[in-house]
Amino acid sequence: MRIVIPVKRLSEAKTRLAPVLSAGERSALMCGLIDHVLAVAMVVAPVSVVTADDIVARRARASGADVIDEQRVAGLNRAARLGVERLRSDGEVAILLLAADLPDVTAGALQAMLALWRPGTVTIAPSRDGGTNALALSTGVDFRFAYGPSSFERHRTEAMRLGMEINVHECAELGVDIDRPQDLAGHLELWAA
């Protein structure tokens, strides 16, 4: 199984933090988060980053990750689809889609997530605010991604539509992401510019 990390352009990332962080601070925060998530994920499995951002691509390559250039279309849902299509054509049978903004992610949490997945299932790790921070599935499934607020329920609904067994992996290390100003508590000092 390969880990796929879709990443928006830095200029588009973390816009909900604009009331408390400048554009430069948001970019620095996102770079720190990406570096952290990549370092953890690379210990667990091969990693592909799907992005249209040159800085993110350079950081991913420097970490040893493969980069799938997403210049054609923007957005996390399209990036996830592009990653699945590319890896399916490369012969990969399953992937773990992982959010790039997980300050508490650990190798153990990712390994536990991978251990839950098997063919015919989808394993979802929800965020504490109802989003989706990790999703393991077969590349052969025509899964319609629906990232954004409340995506956990939309992804569960999609899995039910496809008749897939659903495993929910509630895990503190995968549940925390950085989307809103209140999410910064205890994390900003780790990556402040």
- State how far Cα 170 lies from the chain centre: 16
Give the pLDDT confidence score for residue 124 in this predicted structure.
97
Average pLDDT over residues 106-134: 95
Please tell me what DSSP assigns to residue 16. G
Q: Read off the pLDDT of each residue in 30-39 and give the average, rounded to a whole number.
A: 96
Nearest one of 149, 132, 157, 106 to 6, comparing CA atoms: 132
Domain that holds residue 184: 2-191
Sign, CA torsion 82/35/129/120: positive
Count the residues in the chain: 193
Instruction: Name, in order, each residue with C-beta under 8 angstroms of 55's C-beta and a sequence gap of 6 or more.
Output: 10, 27, 31
Domain of residue 121, CATH code: 3.90.550.10
Q: How many domains does the chain have?
A: 1
Cα–Cα distance, 48 to 59 (Å, whole number) = 12
Q: Is the pLDDT of residue 73 over 90?
A: no
What is the model's pTM?
A: 0.93
